[in-house]
Amino acid sequence: MSQRWYYRACGALAIVGALLLFMGTWLHPSQTDPNESAAAFAEYAATSRAAWVAVHLIQLAGVAAMVVAAILLARLIAGERGAGWARVTTVLGCAGLAVAAVLQAVDGVALKAMADLWVRAAPGDKASMYGATLAVRQTEIGLDALLALVLGATIVAYGLAWLTAADNGGLQGFFAIVVGVANGVAGFLMAIGGYSTPAMLVTMITGVLAIVWMVNAGVWAWRHAPSAVEPILSR
């Protein structure tokens, strides 16, 4: 594998991942307050199953591409001094991908199925079905909070890999650390308050920051791709 191809692959993954996450979030039904569970479930039930699953698969693909891009970029720029943080980025990123996949199984499949069953339930079964749907929602919140915390730690490790690298660092590293800490705050707020207004506000801000950070990292990788074809050393 050449260095040029490696840089370009990292840049493309980062930018495509950010675009997919933005698209999936934008297409997600969100007219109602997610903390108003009954109204939110009714909105979810009104969405077609195919559209709901597709949106969540797009979000998962975006997160996966962004995490892989962060792992590859950390390995690319870390050098010997930042190699330890690059490995931490890899471990945390893989854990984050696992949590993201489980989250989308709960949110993208199970919650939609339960919302449909609740809406169609006979009057005598409505209360029990609502309780079951709410239980799935609480599982989703737990996974969402954990995902934000794990991905936040991943981004912080990525930033530290930049800061400790021999010839890199600066604003790229500091910006990543700010984004990672913000994600951690969002995860903590969700863990203690669910989809409360403060948690959703911080989540929206951190989502924008994460997309900007990833696009910036992708542009950096694309622009810094060597013009000469040189083999890249395995680490």
Beta-bridged to residue 46, according to DSSP, are none
Q: What is the mean pLDDT of residues 12-36?
A: 91
pTM over 0.85: yes
pLDDT in tens, 177-205: 999 999 999 999 999 999 999 999 999 99
pLDDT in tens, 118-132: 999 999 999 999 999
Collect contacts of 35-42 with beta carbons under 8 A, ≥24 apart: 35/194, 35/195, 35/196, 35/197, 35/200, 37/133, 37/134, 37/137, 38/130, 41/114, 41/115, 41/118, 41/119, 41/130, 41/133, 41/137, 42/115, 42/119
At 166, the pLDDT band (50, 70, 90 cuts) reads low
* pLDDT exceeds 80 at position 231: no
Q: What is the mean pLDDT of residues 87-108?
A: 96
pLDDT in tens, 168-181: 557 888 999 999 99
* pLDDT exceeds 80 at position 108: yes
* pLDDT exceeds 70 at position 232: no
Kindly report the number of other CB atoms within 10 A of residue 125's CB atom.
13
